[in-house]
Copies of this chain bind each other. A is one copy, B any other.
Amino acid sequence: MTVITPKKMSFKAQQHKFREDAILDAVNRLLAQKGYDLMTMDEVAAEVGIAKASLYKHFDSKDSLAAASMTRFLEDSLAMARHLPKHLSAVEKLKSVVRWAITIHLTGTMPSLPSTRSSIQQTLLAHEPYLTQLESLTELLGQWIHDAQVAGDLSAALPGEVILYTIYARSCDPVVDFLKNGGAFSDADIVDLLVHTCFEGMTKPPPCEL
């Protein structure tokens, strides 16, 4: 009897994954909208269109649900970063990452990373898959930061950590919400303005007319 490893997942497994992705999509929207502490499991269930108890068949707790959402977002970020055109310079790749993150933020589907002051932070730092993805992304960005400094496109006098943390923070910058709510700028303008002030500051004028 030959055992054939199926190329595709079984129908059951596919359905299971599809359901979980739908849940995580809903969680992303709610996290982007209200943040972790204000998001309730009842809301998640309602948004997905299933009962709350069904939610707990897929995820152990609210913490693990949020951790899964964050982990998937990091996976997406890493995949995006790794598929950037090879001909880009290091600093252009870094700008592309920030640009991509702000774009996601503007669509209202970026799980707001609670940097501090949220009860989920401890859980996140104890969640193995999350840490693995975060370390991979940090390593990749760290390499680009180093390259950009060597190339003279980023200040070599600035500690790498400062640049890395700044890039992470700007990727979920509340200024995005301020400008979006103000209504005076298009999404494309907001992205350009924020990427510019992040890397070039506010003393240097933007390249084109904004």
CB contact list, A26-62 vs B, under 8 A: 33-35, 37-38
Main secondary structure of the interface of A (DSSP, over half): loop
A159-B184 contact, Cβ under 8 Å, with A35-B118, A37-B38: yes
The one of B177, B184, B198, B203 in contact with A202, judged by C-beta atoms closer than 8 angstroms, is: B198
A205-B38 contact, Cβ under 8 Å, with A117-B33, A175-B169: no
A35 to B38, CA, bound (A): 12
In the assembly, how many copies of this chain are there?
A: 2
- For A, the interface residue count at a CB cutoff of 8 angstroms equals 48
The one of B159, B165, B203 in contact with A155, judged by C-beta atoms closer than 8 angstroms, is: B203
Contacts of A205 in B (CB 8 A): 155-158
Contacts of A159 in B (CB 8 A): 184-185, 193, 210
Contacts of A37 in B (CB 8 A): 35, 37-38
Q: Report the minimal beta-carbon distance from A206 to chain B, rounded to whole angstroms.
A: 6
